[in-house]
Structure 1
């Protein structure tokens, strides 16, 4: 609730400043007559202008905002007529010092205590203090990516401290092959990530899982090695087993295909010396990897047999 109240108050203060800007020269043509000058200076500090600004502080649908403005209308009047010269920062005067729903940046909680790491650089600049700038939260640090620990000075796995002292820490990402490291290259790994292995010099190198025996992929797939991992990809449908993508990388050809100078191509069963469509009045139609038998022109299929299409009967008018 306290977080919400502070957010609402900040929005109101921001909108008040916008309202000041929008009403700066309202209702005046901007001509430079003495009358206009006098009227304008009167309007600048008038209750009419204050009311106009207050009316536009909230969306009509925002209950929290409207409630806060109504509840503290007298404070706005006090600031407008008596305090704004001495306290030009409305947000600080109203939200922090008067209605006590916000705190200064770097502080949190009911008493506006300093965040972990101090209010100057909460979390040592490497995180966000819980409840920062509000009367809520617990002041603990939610560290930025790469950092961990109560003070956000330690590095998570995959990062190392490039610079580190009691109040400052810079965590930099390790080489992609390292789980933990002391520097930027694959020779600075303390531990290799899964999918990487140490060579004789202690550097982490990619393990080629595609050399695994037995193979890690299915029979109709080929293995693609990637940094630290691998993936299984489907072979071309003309292949029976393959080493890479494409009809020219088959280990052997799938049924209905033949090896033509190293590439698997469709076998045209309809041109074989022995006819494949042997039933009467049939003809052969080739397709990829196979063929179908259909009734020849002038014939139709009835109960699995190709029979002559009957001639249409001619009707003779009597």
Structure 2
């Protein structure tokens, strides 16, 4: 039986601005996230990603529609049991230390452990914060503060982890490490809902992507479905002779771009030539799929989800 962790039905949000003017931030958002899924929420700045997340977490009330988490209305405080949320700019008390934030959070969430100190330090070290566990957060960079908030969230052992721009402020090494930790969480059965502008780093995390544009959900698809094309790969091989359709890169090395359906044929041909595969890389990226989708929509070639 499929268990829906998040359900949104007809969600709309209208803000009243100066002089009584109304701004529609969201319109008719329908979405269902099942248990164990990793869902990437993408869109341009101001598209409505953060507003949607705030409605799911109970921070903002929808003007229209219904929202449920764990089959409870989001206005019911019990809907947030088992949910951990990290905003784009987490506000942590500067006089506290990472150890105090994480250990206190775990206790408040009812996490029991034979060794609470070891549990706290394990998560701090996982986010490379062990050496600064007892230093005040006020002295931290944005990236260190972000890692502290992520350690706090995961130390609570959430069933659902909601992240708004989780890689914000992290350097390339930090982004890679956080993506790996989130992969482990997902592979362990956790449900992940996240928004991000760092599309290259997070495309491997999500099972599906939701594309929101001007406050409307335009598509909920896999990467291949979003792109509207079959997966293609760049293949680099070393061989005495070029496989069919490949071009020379340098003597003895050949490159080609092939469809996924042709992969086994090419690999068999390379083996028959006595060669070896050096690299296989996906041509399709989430960033390119996103840009192409928006362009097709503006040209009128895409129907809303």
TM-score, normalised via structure 1 length: 0.22
* Greater RCO (Cα-Cα under 8 Å, separation 6 or more): 2
Higher helix share: 2
